[in-house]
Amino acid sequence: MALLPMAPQGLIQQKNLVEQVADFLTQGVIEQRFMPGERLSEVQLSKDLGVSRAPVREAARLLESRGLLVSRPRRGFFVKALDAVELQDVFDLRLCLERHAIERLAQRYTPEARLALERQVDVLCEAAASDSGTRRIEEDLQFHRLMLHYAGNERLLRAFEGLAHELRLCITLITRTHEAPETIATSHYQLLEALASQSGPACREAIDYHIGVARDSVVRGINEAGVQEEGGAR
Amino acid sequence: MALLPMAPQGLIQQKNLVEQVADFLTQGVIEQRFMPGERLSEVQLSKDLGVSRAPVREAARLLESRGLLVSRPRRGFFVKALDAVELQDVFDLRLCLERHAIERLAQRYTPEARLALERQVDVLCEAAASDSGTRRIEEDLQFHRLMLHYAGNERLLRAFEGLAHELRLCITLITRTHEAPETIATSHYQLLEALASQSGPACREAIDYHIGVARDSVVRGINEAGVQEEGGAR
DNA sequence: CTCTTTTAAACTGTCGACAGTCGGCAGTCG
DNA sequence: CGACTGCCGACTGTCGACAGTTTAAAAGAG
């Protein structure tokens, strides 16, 4: 069987097999086709995707570096199971990064950055009003990516990217408890206002509130959903 | 009954080939046996190390995720060349992470953490007085690792680890301009004092000063050494 | 029937090999 | 004399295979 939509729309170049497999695995983890704690067999994946083990292996390593998989020596790869504590850690690190980023950005708030962020909020609102889950999350993440980008430190963005996958996982898992889309949009406008004021403390307060809301929403979702702690101990 | 595998931390046992190769490559990059911008051939490395290409490949991917190598599709791996801007970015992100960590740590400063940090400073002083370069840097990094660890967010530590290799590279490249070891030791004592006071602002001030000194030292070193910008454009 | 021992299957880690592609060099044409 | 085209070598991306180890089940003892 064909593994992935063969024709990447219009683009001449085909991505590496590694990246294709990585995308497939990422989707699988996010959509919970691979359950947390589940063991992923290299040979099985190879057969299913119709490729050799080498690309699967590299892709798995990639996912591991992104925190979506964990590898135990001689045991193979397992889907990362996030518990409540780790979830708190994710949001704590996110807060750390975004605080720093927004304060930096406030000091160099160019019209270009402002325009890009405002446009992204518009897109976000549109997505929130019309579409469902996935795209809403994606546009939300994109806004924060832009913020990190215009903060002017590429490494800051890279660190965030490393977290983004776990973050997306957290959020997707409990998308039902997401606040009303309008609330989220409003929250982003507050960020824009704080940035426009170019006041460090105001920005910090805004981002603290913004991320706090998101974190509480996720935590609440976890509690409501009743965590099935199957992955368990080592 | 079957006897369990002896000493788990035995030095005899060989780590994964991948890790061994990764260590070799890391050493090579840090010691500048591989010059910045240089292309690394997989087959050449395989022959030199007497292993297959598979472990070399995985190790290179690992180094890439750590920021020591960059890969261009179909071209192979190249040694990362750090310019002045990126160097600033490294220290900026480091500041971001350590600020957050030390403020967290101040709020949960257990006797255990205090003891561990104090012991590490002692070790650091000893190393500074006796040994040369490499070990001094290693013990310095270890202190900060401990600080991040006791801050209680594993992801914070992981982000720092991702930066540590680049940081080590920065520092090693210009080790000659390192401040007098005693100065560094004193600076660490200031961190301990700030932590003991459990005052957030005091901690922030201390870490800002500490990292600022390191950054200035490195930047000064770069300027003095005269950067050979050979890596250059794409 | 339960617990231990033995055996077999499956998997990962590693290897060597093949095909497609990229960069460079020579030869040719304007 | 300069620019374009076709060929050559080298290298990466990918593949299938083998050995050692871990897991799980089957067989045997109490």
Asked if B167 contacts B141 with a C-beta cutoff of 8 angstroms, the reply is yes
| Cα B147 from Cα B158, distance rounded (Å) | 13
A177 vs A168: CA distance, rounded Å: 14
Q: What are the CA-CA distances from residue B45 to residues A189, B29, B34, B54, B85 (Å)?
A: 53, 13, 12, 11, 31
Task: Tell if A34 CB is < 7 Å from nucleic strand C.
Answer: no
Best probe of the B interface among A96, A165, A234, by most B CBs < 10 A, is: A96
A93 contacts in B (CB within 8 Å)? 153, 155-156, 159
Contact A170/B at CB under 8 A: no
Q: What is the pLDDT of residue B98?
A: 97
- Flag if B96 and A57 touch (Cβ within 8 Å): no
Q: What is the DSSP letter of B227?
A: -
**Facing residue for A61 by CB, picked from B61, B89, B96:** B61
In chain A, which residues have their Cβ closer than 8 Å to the Cβ of B163? 155
Query: Residue A104 has which token pair?
Result: 């930096």
Give the distance, in angstroms, between residue B24 CA and nucleotide D9 C1': 29
Provide the token pair at B213.
């000194």
Contacts of B67 in chain A (CB under 8 A): 155, 158
In order of their start, the domains of chain B are 17-79 (1.10.10.10), 84-225 (1.20.120.530)
Q: Which residues contact A67 (CB under 8 A, 6 or more apart)?
A: A80, A162, A163, A165, A166, B155, B158
Task: State, as a whole number of angstroms, the distance between the CA of A39 and the C1' of D2.
Answer: 62
Instruction: Name the closest residue on chain B to residue A60, using Cα atoms.
Output: B58
* Cβ(B56)–Cβ(B21) below 8 Å: yes
Sites in chain A below the pLDDT cut of 50: 1-13, 227-234
| Nucleotide with the nearest C1' to B46 CA | C15
Closest nucleotide to the alpha carbon of A57, via C1'? C12
Q: Which residue in B60, B46, B30 sits closest to A61, CA to CA?
A: B60
Nearest by CB: A153 against B58, B65, B92: B92
State the nearest residue by CA to the C1' of C15: B52
- pLDDT at residue number B162: 85
Using a 10 angstrom Cβ sphere, with 0-12 exposed, 13-18 middle and 19 or more buried, the burial of residue B114 is middle
Across the interface, whether the CB atoms of B93 and A159 are under 8 A apart is answered yes
Token couple for A181:
């889309």
Can you list the pairs that B59-62 forms with residues at least 24 positions away whose Cβ atoms lie under 8 Å?
B59/B18, B59/B19, B59/B21, B59/B22, B59/B24, B59/B25, B60/B25, B61/A58, B61/A61, B61/A62, B62/A61, B62/A65, B62/B18, B62/B22
Cα-based distances in Å from A187 to A209, B88, B199, B209: 8, 32, 31, 34
Ramachandran angles phi, psi of B151, nearest 5°: -70, -15
CB B171 within 8 A of CB B218: yes
Q: Is the CB of B75 under 7 A from strand C?
A: yes
CA distance A133 to chain B (A): 26
Cβ-based contacts under 8 A for chains A and B: 67
How far does the CA of residue B229 sit from the closest CA of chain A (Å)? 20
Asked if A57's CB is within 8 angstroms of B155's CB, the reply is: no
A44 touches strand C (CB under 7 A): yes
Taking the CA of residue A43 and the C1' sugar atom of nucleotide C9, their distance in angstroms comes to 14
234 residues of chain B, pLDDT tens digit each = 222 233 332 333 346 788 889 999 999 998 889 988 899 999 999 998 989 999 999 899 999 988 899 998 888 999 998 888 988 999 999 999 999 999 999 999 999 999 999 999 999 888 888 766 778 888 999 999 999 999 999 999 999 988 998 888 888 766 655 567 677 777 899 999 999 999 999 999 999 999 998 888 888 877 776 544 433 333
Pairing of strands A39-40, A69-72: unpaired
Indicate if CB(A58) is under 7 A from strand C: no
- Ordered DSSP codes for B181-212: HHHHHHHHHHHHHHHHHT-HHHHHHHHHHHHH
Strand C proximity: list residues 125-184 of A with CB under 7 Å: none
pLDDT at B175: 63
Cite the DSSP H helix spans in chain A. 17-30, 42-49, 53-65, 84-107, 111-130, 133-150, 154-173, 181-197, 200-225
Contact indicator for A121, A192 with CB cutoff of 8 Å: yes
